[in-house]
């Protein structure tokens, strides 16, 4: 790779001295004899032998250049012969991917023509150079582990979207995803690859064989007797599926795993390589040899502590060396092979990075003696080589390779000038520094050395068949199991200590990037990092649908944890210096960041809607509460800008997607940002669309003095714009009166914290959920192993064949569990460790405090970005579902208080009028619905203030129209479940023998009713005479709609099933049908809840709406019972089909709900007093009629075994259940014996089995 300054004439720095003898006295140059000895000692000949002093030429600075030219020209003749075209190869000497004609499908090739991403079903591309004789090799760096076929093909191979390399004659490929080799047919071959692996592709055209290596380990000969002869030449080629990516190394960089006897397709720059190594040797000699001027002799020096110390002789000698060395250091091959190897050797002596100042001295020399464009290119190539080496290093037990490359990265970034240049131009713009914070998970635990670290494996082997979770009421583990578990835990601790070393180095890198004390020579590193970090977030937020430019979520997870560690280090450091500031345990983001225009939130949605809309509608509130004035002229500009927003977005998107890379199809797609330069979204619009003027908040509001604030883009911001100075509060401008006038921390750290919250929302949460799959696999295999062992113990001795098959299965399951348990140990340490859990918990508390502070600002709360609420809900979900059982959330400090504060947020904001986004409102409703499903979180809801509880219940009882009523109804049902008639089951009785897909679902949790919230509901319904009719009418309307839809759908299903031709019912239709049935049942349960808690709403005729509500209820119940209980009706026929997807549709759930309503009405007619006797008798007769006419033909006919109910012994006439089974009895209602006998006569026809013992 040539330098960026290639083709431009640059004057070289010249350090040669004058020949006047008095110059040496002025400059401090040593005498000619000592100088001659020194120069001959430094610039030795190629063989390393120095001629005797009498025969060697006298060297001075005047003839040193000539001497150097002669030394560097030695062996040039032999080297030039190597640069000639090698026999057996055809094509350009610089080998790249053929983006002009050698491709098929939609592909995106990076600007170096060595990296490719698939953009179609199965795209193919080949290289520009082919081979027909000899032994050749090239390497492929696997960036993603998906479907790819890598190998060789001829010019005659024709590929398409279904057939790629290896699918046609004369093409051969290795597929590590499916672990197969391909040449028209396919067979098993090799090992599975993973992201970060390197595949070596070897072809021997003398023997006619093709082989592959994975991370330097041979996979054996894949193909032999390949076609050779006239016209047969083989190109490197690859076929890859959508979004898969790789990088090729044909020889432009040193091969990571060279194979003896095989040549890379592209010859290395041998002449430059020899010259660079010679010059590096001279540089080492300068470092080793010192001049003792007082003694007049040369001395050996300690290289580790070498310093220039202003010696003119040494400086001018180095200038001559760098005069030749500098241009070579602009080439990637030489930087990686010569410079990086030399710098790594300095650190191999061990000790801290600070113990090796030589690297800092060398970087000083580079900035002093190299042209600016040369040092820029050299540093860029050095960091790219380090990142590539770190990313594609194999996992070894001590992680030594990763540690080695991270240490050198730290050493380079410790140099202030180099760090600032790399931050400004390289780390986020050219390459992805986020890779440095990633610790990849080994797919092959054997090669990673986990067998040595964790020799003993263990997994929980006691599970319940229904839930797949570790059972709590099981026998204690045996002594053998205890020993295995402890040995496994010791192995995990060993692994954790080694990974913590890598994590510590990664945090050190971030501490260097967040340094705000290095203001020498320009802006401090932290403020450069802030601007680049914000653009990084913008790229990932604006291109969430474009997978080629997104940071992989597994990288984001690691980056988030390292950034939290570095942030808290600086936060607490500031607290130590400023006692009045907050500690990191009390961190939050102040609300003024959301509306003062200092921080860019791109196009992310606010709680109150679009930012331009909020600035227009809340401009008076901004002026009154935050002393922020919006200029009317700027508001007009915002309005006009919104009108053209779509057009401008399309234009800027087209401009941002102009390919600087070589596009295989010639179209305009975004370049692959992860492999090279990112495609940034449109320019920052938040800071440029509205000018914000602020008043001095310490002055009275009577006279408004405007202070103009510069509306700068991210790139233009300075330290003063962030931290503030001289009365300017920087990011904290516009503090509302509700916000305490107390220092929080440095303003720049607040922006970093805000970015961390955004990172979690972008992709971290999804990745945390994805990695739980390994733990689920362990559970599944452990259950399978346990079942197999039980079958072996029960297998008859005479059935040896079955016994042998079971033993084979046992071995397979054990081996798989051994592999998964070691891999799970790695994942638990890197992702689900206790420290990582505390990071997520800390982030949850940050979001809770931020929401609480924002809520106090009243209408200004609408400016808060939606992702703060999303992160609060998702982080709690992650702590509850993803980190256990490895770590328990209950052990976290302040757990109960945090749970209660989050409950208060959900209870208040699910119906907050300041929140207008449909998606975030639905998310809040779903989070609250999940919250009330679990006892510990439900108790947290009950612990919030009474005012908040009553307000929550009042919002839940609001009319169902124009809001997500299904989720609201589900919340009310969960508060009632466990109190209704036959409503104590966890799963429906007819589904007990089937296994649930996920036992952790909220719908499968044990009933945990809340009598406290039920009491609030009853009080509201009784006290507010307008609330009850509007609520019940909306419930009855929705019930009418849901049940009618359900009946219409089962009619269509029945008609499809009765046709003679074979028909398949659409699974989506079945799902909607089941959903309508479930909604009908839940609405009936809410009606039962209402009738039980406040029966006077239906039975108190002094209420004007009671009779109408009772009539509507009776009509709907009659409709339900007629449809469900008629003999040989439609409902019966559909239920008997037992269609997949309609598992929940059965007689029991809907009939017990209807019965609960009728029984409750029946009982309550006896406890209402004497007033209105005739009407109550009418209602009582109506209920009895429904019970008598429908119960027997519904539940009796279905004869469904009930999992939880009370026993009805045959031949007896029992009384109704007491308070323990009937909630109305517990409420003090009196049920007469006569009424009990009537009810028993009604239900006596039901033949109750012994299994139907606990439901009613």
Query: Contact 1003/1076 with Cβ under 8 angstroms?
Result: no
DSSP, collapsed to helix, strand or coil, labels residue 186 as strand
Query: Contact 413/507 with Cβ under 8 angstroms?
Result: no
User: Sheet harboring 692-694: ordered strands across?
Assistant: 628-630, 692-694, 707-708
Average confidence score pLDDT of the chain: 79
- Inform me whether the pLDDT recorded for 1194 exceeds 90: no
Query: Contact 979/1132 with Cβ under 8 angstroms?
Result: no
- Average pLDDT (1225-1249) is 35
pLDDT in tens, 809-849: 999 999 999 888 988 899 989 999 999 999 999 999 999 99
pLDDT in tens, 450-498: 888 888 888 875 444 333 344 444 456 788 888 988 999 999 999 999 9
Give 763's DSSP letter.
Answer: I
- What pLDDT is stored for residue 426 in this prediction? 86
In DSSP terms, which residues pair with 336 in a beta bridge? none
Tell me the longest C-alpha to C-alpha distance in the chain: 137
- Dist CA 1072 CA 251 (whole Å): 58
- Inform me whether the pLDDT recorded for 959 exceeds 70: yes
pLDDT in tens, 897-955: 999 999 999 999 998 999 998 899 999 999 999 888 889 999 999 999 999 999 999 99
- What pLDDT is stored for residue 459 in this prediction? 82
190: left (phi over 0), alpha (psi -120 to 50) or beta: left
- Dist CA 1074 CA 1053 (whole Å): 12
The pLDDT confidence band at residue 57, using thresholds 50, 70 and 90, is: confident
> Which among 246-260, 644-658, 1226-1240 has the top mean pLDDT?
246-260
What's the whole-model pTM score? Answer: 0.84
- Dist CA 631 CA 905 (whole Å): 34
What are the tokens at 438? 């990633």
The pLDDT confidence band at residue 230, using thresholds 50, 70 and 90, is: confident
Give 891's DSSP letter.
Answer: G
Query: If we measure between CA atoms, which residue out of 328, 413, 310, 411 comes closest to residue 365?
Result: 310
Burial classification of residue 218, based on how many CB atoms lie within 10 Å of its CB (0-12 exposed, 13-18 middle, 19 or more buried): middle
Q: Which residues lie below 8 Å from residue 126, measured CB to CB, with a gap of 6+?
A: 97, 98, 102, 103, 153, 235, 236, 237, 238
What are the tokens at 191? 């090992």
Q: Given the structure tokens 């969430």, which residue do they identify?
A: 544
The pLDDT confidence band at residue 218, using thresholds 50, 70 and 90, is: very high
Query: If we measure between CA atoms, which residue out of 1139, 1129, 1182, 1141 comes closest to residue 1158?
Result: 1182
- What pLDDT is stored for residue 1129 in this prediction? 76
- Average pLDDT (963-982) is 85
- What pLDDT is stored for residue 1236 in this prediction? 40
Percent of the chain with pLDDT over 90: 39
pLDDT in tens, 720-748: 778 877 667 788 888 888 888 888 999 99
Q: Given the structure tokens 């431009």, which residue do they identify?
A: 8
User: DSSP string spanning 628-688?
Assistant: EEE-HHHHHHHHHHHHTHHHHHHHHHHHHT--SSPBTTS------TTTSS----SPP-TTT
- Average pLDDT (210-218) is 94
Q: Given the structure tokens 């190539």, which residue do they identify?
A: 381
Note every long-range contact of 70-73, with CB atoms under 8 Å and residues 24 or more positions apart, other chains counting.
71/43, 71/45, 71/46, 71/278, 72/275, 72/278, 72/279, 72/324
The pLDDT confidence band at residue 1088, using thresholds 50, 70 and 90, is: very high
Query: If we measure between CA atoms, which residue out of 895, 898, 923, 894 comes closest to residue 909?
Result: 923
Query: Contact 690/638 with Cβ under 8 angstroms?
Result: yes
In DSSP terms, which residues pair with 1041 in a beta bridge? none
Type and span of the H or E element at 219: strand 217-224
Give 745's DSSP letter.
Answer: S
Q: What is the distance in angstroms between the CA of the first residue and the CA of the last residue of the chain? A: 80
Burial classification of residue 697, based on how many CB atoms lie within 10 Å of its CB (0-12 exposed, 13-18 middle, 19 or more buried): middle
Answer whether the bond into residue 146 is a cis peptide, omega within 30°: no
- What pLDDT is stored for residue 963 in this prediction? 67
- Inform me whether the pLDDT recorded for 1200 exceeds 50: no
pLDDT in tens, 1146-1172: 888 899 999 999 888 888 765 554 344
In DSSP terms, which residues pair with 123 in a beta bridge? 240
- Dist CA 152 CA 203 (whole Å): 8
- What pLDDT is stored for residue 1079 in this prediction? 92
The pLDDT confidence band at residue 328, using thresholds 50, 70 and 90, is: very high
In DSSP terms, which residues pair with 56 in a beta bridge? none
In DSSP terms, which residues pair with 204 in a beta bridge? 135, 209
Burial classification of residue 1177, based on how many CB atoms lie within 10 Å of its CB (0-12 exposed, 13-18 middle, 19 or more buried): exposed
Query: Contact 620/880 with Cβ under 8 angstroms?
Result: no
- What pLDDT is stored for residue 1172 in this prediction? 47
pLDDT in tens, 133-155: 999 999 999 988 889 999 999 99
- Inform me whether the pLDDT recorded for 1051 exceeds 50: yes
- What pLDDT is stored for residue 255 in this prediction? 94
pLDDT in tens, 624-675: 888 877 766 555 555 544 444 444 444 444 444 433 333 333 333 333 333 3
- Average pLDDT (1011-1022) is 93
- What pLDDT is stored for residue 1167 in this prediction? 52
Q: Looking at the chain, how many residues does it have?
A: 1256
pLDDT in tens, 386-406: 999 998 888 887 888 899 999
- Inform me whether the pLDDT recorded for 415 exceeds 60: yes
Query: If we measure between CA atoms, which residue out of 752, 743, 754, 375 comes closest to residue 570?
Result: 752
Helices (H), 514-600: 525-542, 553-577
- Dist CA 790 CA 794 (whole Å): 6
The pLDDT confidence band at residue 1173, using thresholds 50, 70 and 90, is: very low
Query: If we measure between CA atoms, which residue out of 772, 1013, 993 comes closest to residue 884?
Result: 772
Query: If we measure between CA atoms, which residue out of 922, 1009, 1011 comes closest to residue 967?
Result: 922
pLDDT in tens, 542-556: 766 555 567 888 889
- What pLDDT is stored for residue 1124 in this prediction? 87
pLDDT in tens, 1030-1050: 999 999 999 999 999 999 888
What are the tokens at 1? 């790779």
- Residue 173: what are its φ and ψ, rounded to 5°? -145, 155
Least confident range from 49-58, 249-258, 976-985, 1037-1046: namely 49-58
Residue bearing the bigger pLDDT, 884 or 7: 884
- Average pLDDT (986-991) is 70
Type and span of the H or E element at 1184: helix 1173-1186
- Average pLDDT (70-87) is 63
Query: Contact 1242/1191 with Cβ under 8 angstroms?
Result: yes
């Amino acid at each position: 790779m040539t330098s960026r300054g290639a083709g431009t004439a640059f004057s070289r720095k010249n350090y040669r001295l004058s020949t006047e003898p008095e110059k040496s006295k002025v400059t401090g140059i040593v005498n000619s004899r000592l100088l001659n000895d020194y120069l001959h000692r430094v610039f030795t000949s190629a063989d390393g032998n120095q001629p005797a002093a009498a025969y060697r030429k006298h060297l001075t600075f005047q003839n040193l250049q000539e001497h150097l030219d002669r030394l560097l020209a030695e062996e040039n003749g032999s080297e030039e012969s190597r640069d000639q075209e090698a026999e057996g190869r055809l094509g350009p000497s610089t080998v790249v991917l053929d983006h002009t004609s050698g491709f098929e499908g939609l592909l995106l090739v990076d600007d170096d023509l060595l990296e490719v991403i698939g953009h179609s079903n199965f795209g193919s591309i080949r290289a520009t150079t082919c081979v027909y004789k000899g032994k050749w090799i090239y390497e492929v760096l696997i960036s993603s582990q998906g479907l790819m076929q890598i190998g060789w093909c001829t010019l005659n191979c024709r590929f398409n979207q279904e057939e790629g390399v290896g699918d046609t004659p004369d093409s051969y490929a290795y597929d590590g995803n499916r672990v197969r080799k391909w040449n028209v047919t396919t067979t098993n071959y090799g090992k599975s690859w993973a992201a970060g692996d390197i595949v070596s592709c070897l072809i021997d055209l003398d023997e006619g064989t093709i082989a592959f290596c994975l991370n330097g380990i041979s996979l054996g000969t894949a193909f032999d007797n390949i076609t050779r002869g006239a016209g047969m030449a083989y190109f490197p080629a690859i076929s890859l599926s959508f979004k898969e990516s790789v990088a090729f190394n044909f020889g432009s960089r040193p091969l990571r795993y060279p194979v003896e006897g095989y040549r890379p397709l592209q010859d290395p720059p041998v002449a430059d390589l020899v010259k660079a190594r010679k010059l590096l040797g001279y540089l080492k000699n300068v470092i080793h040899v010192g001049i003792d001027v007082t003694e007049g002799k040369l001395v050996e020096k300690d290289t580790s502590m070498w310093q220039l110390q202003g010696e003119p002789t040494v400086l001018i000698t180095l200038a001559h060396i760098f005069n030749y060395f500098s241009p070579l250091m602009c080439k990637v091959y030489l930087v990686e092979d010569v410079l990086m190897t030399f710098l790594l050797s300095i650190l191999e002596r061990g000790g801290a990075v600070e113990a090796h100042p030589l690297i800092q001295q060398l970087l000083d020399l580079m900035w002093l003696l190299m042209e600016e464009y040369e040092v820029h290119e050299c540093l860029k190539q050095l960091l790219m080589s380090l990142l590539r080496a770190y990313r594609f290093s194999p996992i070894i037990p001590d992680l030594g390779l990763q540690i080695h490359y991270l240490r050198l990265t730290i050493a380079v970034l410790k140099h202030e000038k180099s760090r600032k240049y790399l931050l400004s131009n390289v780390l986020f713009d050219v390459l992805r520094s986020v890779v440095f914070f990633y610790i990849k998970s080994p797919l092959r635990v054997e090669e990673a050395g986990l067998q040595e670290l964790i020799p003993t494996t263990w997994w929980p082997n006691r599970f319940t068949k229904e839930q797949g979770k570790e059972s709590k009421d099981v026998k204690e583990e045996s002594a053998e199991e205890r020993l295995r578990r402890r040995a496994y835990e010791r192995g995990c601790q060993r692994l954790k200590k080694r990974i913590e070393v890598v994590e510590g180095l990664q945090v050190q890198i971030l501490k260097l990037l967040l340094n705000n004390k290095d203001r020498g020579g320009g802006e401090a590193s932290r403020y450069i990092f802030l601007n680049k970090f914000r653009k990084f977030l913008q790229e990932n937020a604006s291109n969430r649908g474009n997978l080629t430019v997104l940071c992989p979520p597994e990288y984001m997870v690691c980056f988030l944890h390292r950034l939290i560690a570095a942030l808290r280090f600086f936060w607490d450091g500031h607290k130590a210096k400023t006692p009045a500031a907050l500690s990191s345990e009390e961190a939050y983001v102040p609300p003024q960041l959301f509306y003062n225009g200092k921080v860019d939130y791109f196009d992310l949605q606010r709680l109150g809607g679009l930012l331009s809309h909020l600035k227009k509608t809340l401009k008076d509130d901004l002026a009154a509460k935050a002393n922020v004035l919006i200029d009317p002229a700027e508001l007009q500009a915002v309005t006009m800008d919104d009108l053209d927003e779509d057009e401008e977005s399309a234009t800027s998107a087209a401009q941002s997607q102009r390919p600087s890379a070589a596009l295989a199809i010639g179209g305009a797609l975004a370049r692959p940002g992860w492999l090279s330069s990112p495609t940034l979204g449109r320019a920052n619009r938040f800071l440029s669309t509205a000018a914000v003027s602020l008043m001095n908040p310490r002055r009275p509001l009577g006279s408004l003095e405007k202070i103009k604030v510069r509306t700068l883009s991210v790139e233009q911001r300075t330290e003063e714009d962030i931290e503030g100075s001289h009365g300017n509060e920087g990011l904290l401008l516009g503090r509302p009166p509700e916000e305490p006038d107390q220092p929080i921390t440095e303003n720049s750290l607040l922006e970093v914290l805000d970015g961390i919250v955004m990172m979690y929302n972008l992709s971290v949460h999804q990745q945390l959920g994805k990695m739980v799959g390994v733990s689920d696999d362990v559970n599944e295999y452990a259950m399978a192993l346990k079942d197999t062992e039980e079958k072996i113990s029960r297998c008859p001795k005479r059935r040896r064949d079955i016994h042998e098959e079971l033993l084979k299965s046992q071995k397979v399951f054990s081996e798989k569990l051994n592999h998964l348990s070691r891999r799970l140990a790695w994942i638990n340490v890197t992702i689900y460790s206790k420290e990582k859990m505390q990071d997520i918990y800390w982030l949850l508390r940050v979001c809770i405090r931020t929401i609480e502070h924002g809520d106090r600002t009243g209408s200004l709360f609408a400016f808060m970005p939606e992702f703060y609420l999303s992160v609060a809900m998702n982080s709690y979900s992650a702590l509850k579902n993803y980190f256990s059982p490895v770590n328990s959330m209950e052990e976290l400090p302040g757990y109960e208080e945090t749970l209660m504060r989050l409950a208060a947020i959900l209870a208040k904001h699910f119906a907050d009028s300041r929140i207008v986004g449909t998606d975030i409102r639905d998310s809040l409703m779903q989070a609250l619905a999940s919250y009330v499903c679990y006892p510990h979180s439900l108790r947290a809801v009950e612990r919030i203030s009474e005012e908040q509880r009553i307000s929550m219940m009042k919002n839940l009882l609001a009319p169902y129209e124009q809001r997500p009523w299904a989720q609201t109804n589900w919340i009310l049902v969960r508060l009632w479940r466990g109190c209704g008639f036959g409503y104590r089951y966890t799963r429906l009785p007819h589904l007990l023998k089937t296994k649930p897909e996920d036992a952790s679902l909220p719908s499968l949790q044990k009933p945990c009713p809340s009598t406290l919230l039920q009491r609030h509901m009853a009080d509201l319904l009784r006290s507010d005479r307008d609330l009850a009719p509007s609520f019940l009418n909306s419930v009855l309307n929705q019930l009418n709609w849901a049940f009618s839809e359900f009946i219409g759908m089962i009619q269509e299903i029945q008609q499809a099933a009765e046709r003679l031709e074979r028909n398949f019912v659409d699974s989506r239709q079945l799902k909607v049908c089941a959903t309508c049935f479930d909604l009908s049942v839940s609405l009936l349960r809410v009606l039962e809840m209402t009738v039980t808690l406040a029966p006077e709403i239906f039975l108190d005729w002094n209420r004007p709406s009671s009779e109408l509500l009772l009539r509507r209820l009776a009509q709907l119940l009659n409709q339900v019972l007629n449809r469900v209980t008629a003999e040989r009706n439609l409902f019966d026929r559909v239920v008997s089909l037992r269609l997949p997807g309609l598992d929940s549709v059965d007689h029991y759930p809907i009939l017990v709900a209807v019965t609960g309503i009728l029984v409750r009405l029946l009982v309550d007619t006896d406890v209402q007093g004497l007033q209105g006797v005739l009407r109550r008798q009418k209602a009582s007769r109506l209920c009895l009629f429904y019970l008598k006419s429908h119960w027997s033909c519904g539940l009796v006919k279905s004869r469904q075994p009930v999992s939880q109910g009370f026993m009805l012994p045959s031949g007896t006439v029992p009384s109704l259940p007491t308070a323990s089974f009937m909630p109305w009895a517990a409420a003090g209602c009196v049920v007469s014996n006569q009424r009990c006998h009537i009810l028993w006569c009604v239900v006596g026809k039901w033949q109750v089995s012994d299994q139907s013992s606990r439901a009613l």
